[in-house]
Structure 1
Amino acid sequence: MGAEVLDLRLTTGIRIPCLVHGDSDAKPLLLLHAWSESRRSFDRLVPLLRGFRVYAPDLRGQGDAEKPEHGYSLVEQAEDASVPLVEVHERVTRLRGPPSAPVRATGAGQVPRRT
C-alpha cells in the first residue's frame, strides 16, 4: 500500500496535484477538502482508511495547485474535482465535509455516472 502524488492537468492547462494512497484493487474514495485548505487536511485520516484507494486532490487555487486569476466558479471547481475520476476511470465513493457542499452538488450534475 503505497502513496504517491500525481500531477493532473485540467483541460484548461492548470496543474493540480492529487494524493493517491492505497492498494490499486481497493474501492476508490475521493476526498475533497474545504475552501482554503488542501489535500494535507486529510494527512491523519488517510492512513486509517484501510480497504480504500484514496484520491485527494488540491483544488484549483488551493494547496500546491496552480492559482490562476480566474476560474473559481462552482462549475469550474466541480470540473476540477472530477479530474481524478476521469484519470482513474473509476466510480468513486466520496467522503466530504459541509464546506464543499456547493462543489459536490455541482459536480454530481457534471459527472453523474462517476459519483
Structure 2
Amino acid sequence: MHLIANNSRFLIIPEQHYPNLASRILSLCERRISLDWQKHFGYPLLLLETFVDPQYFYGTIYRAANWIHVGEARGSSRTSKGYSSTRKPRNRSMCALYHRALELDYHSLFLALIIAMEHPKSC
C-alpha cells in the first residue's frame, strides 16, 4: 500500500466557480505529491485513489482531471490504528472509486492496483 496515496477530501465551493479550477488544482497536486513522496519516503508514488459518495457528488472533478472510474467500493472504516471492518461506519452505501496513475510503468501500476483491490478502504 505504500505505492498508493488516498485523496480523502477535495471540494470546490460552488459559489467560487472559476473555469477549470478543480482540474488545475488536482494537476498541480499530482505533480507535487510525486516529487514530495519520492523525496520524503525514497520510493515513487504510483497511484492516487479517491472515493466519491454518489449520494452527494458526481465525480465530475475527477473525470475532468482524467481520473479513471474503476468501480464501486464499500470497504472498511478508518480508525486511529488503521482500517477496521468491525467498527460501525457512518454510511455503508457504495462509493465510486477513482484512480489516477502517476507512473507509466504498467507492471508496477498493475501490482499497485492488485494491492489496492485486496485492501479496500472506506469512502
| Interval of TM-score (by shorter of Structure 1 and Structure 2) | 0.3 to 0.5
TM-score, normalised by the number of residues in structure 1: 0.35
Higher relative contact order (CA 8 A, sep 6+): 2
TM-score, normalised by the number of residues in structure 2: 0.33
Structure exhibiting the larger radius of gyration computed from Cα positions: 2
